[in-house]
Amino acid sequence: MSATDADAVLAACRSVTVVHGRGEAAVAALADVDLNVTAGEAMGLIGRSGSGKTTLLHVLGGLIEPSSGEVLLGGAPLAPLDLAARTRARARTVSYVFQGANLLPTFTAFENVSFALHAAFAGEGAEAPLGGTDLLELVGLGGKLDNLPAELSGGEAQRVAIARALAQRPALLLCDEPTGNLDSDTGARVLDLIMALQRELGFALVIATHDADIAARLARVVTLEDGRVVARSGLT
């Protein structure tokens, strides 16, 4: 990897292993995984349930520590950082969209996004580049600002979750089966939205999925099986 390529790496795993349990009960959720995520790319992590996709997303985003190996986020290793510093490193670089929208049920769509904006920019001395209304308009929900989650369809709730994830203007968006709870037509529209926003805003995108049709739309695909990378395709 050249110096320029290294500068573009947003998140990386170096010989990462994650083991759950001890002794005879120990199970390797990830085993000796090497992976780079570079600025602006769209990558898929594909594999069956239990293959390690979600664990790898959590490692890349600094949510869990590996049993061995090194994780870098924003070009810096996470291991030397205390919890507060690791939280700041995540906030500067990465955001998440999960399979379920996980919205705050007593907050309106606008309030859910505004809460994320406050968390991202409070005390930073910087103004958010886009407000809650702007973000909801960006995902096509300008007319649903005052709706509670219970008043939204599944696709609309997931679009609010996407707007919330984009509140901090992340360099890297990690999506874990983002259409898994939706019917095929709604899921296709949500995926179209994520891909369009990735092109428009330029963030790096990693989608964990078991769906080969979703993976086929991404420029690079990494296949996992039993916690190991077994295939890579697309751009290198």
* Nearest alpha-carbon partner for 224 in 10, 11, 43, 76: 43
CA distance 99 to 111: 21
Residue 226 in any domain: the answer is yes
Note whether residue 215 is domain-resident: yes
Per-residue model confidence (pLDDT) at position 200? 93
CB atoms within 10 A of CB 196: 12
Residue 177: which of 169, 187, 165, 167 has the closest Cα?
187
- Residue 138 domain-assigned (yes or no): yes
Can you give the residue range of the structural domain that contains 134?
41-65+83-234
Distance between CA atoms of 29 and 31, rounded to whole angstroms? 7
Average pLDDT estimate for 197-224: 95
Residue 34 lies in a domain: no
- 71 phi/psi in degrees, rounded to 5: -120, 130
| pLDDT at res. 22 | 83
Identify the pLDDT of residue 122. 64
Cα 175 vs. chain centroid, distance in angstroms?
A: 4
CATH of the domain at 164: 3.40.50.300
Strand order in the sheet with 9-20: 27-38, 9-20, 68-73, 76-77
pLDDT band with cut points at 50, 70 and 90 for residue 218: very high
On average, the pLDDT of the chain sits at: 90
- What does the radius of gyration of the chain's CA atoms come to, in whole angstroms? 18
Percent of the chain with pLDDT over 90: 75
Residue 190 lies in a domain: yes
What would the pLDDT profile of 142-183 be if each residue is shown by its tens digit?
999 999 999 999 999 999 999 999 998 899 999 999 999 999
Tell me the pLDDT band of 4, cut-offs 50, 70 and 90: very low
What is the Cα–Cα distance from 156 to 143, expressed in whole angstroms? 11
Domain count, the chain: 1
Q: What is the DSSP letter of 153?
A: -
74 assigned to some structural domain:
no
Q: Is 1 exposed, middle or buried (0-12, 13-18, 19+ CB in 10 A)?
A: exposed
Q: Does residue 3 lie within any of the structural domains?
A: no
Give strand pairing partners of 223.
46, 231
- Report how far residue 167's alpha carbon sits from residue 151's, in angstroms, rounded to the nearest whole number: 22
pLDDT top residue among 23 and 180: 180
CA gap 205, 132 in Å, rounded:
22
* β-pair partners for 158: none
29 located within any domain: no
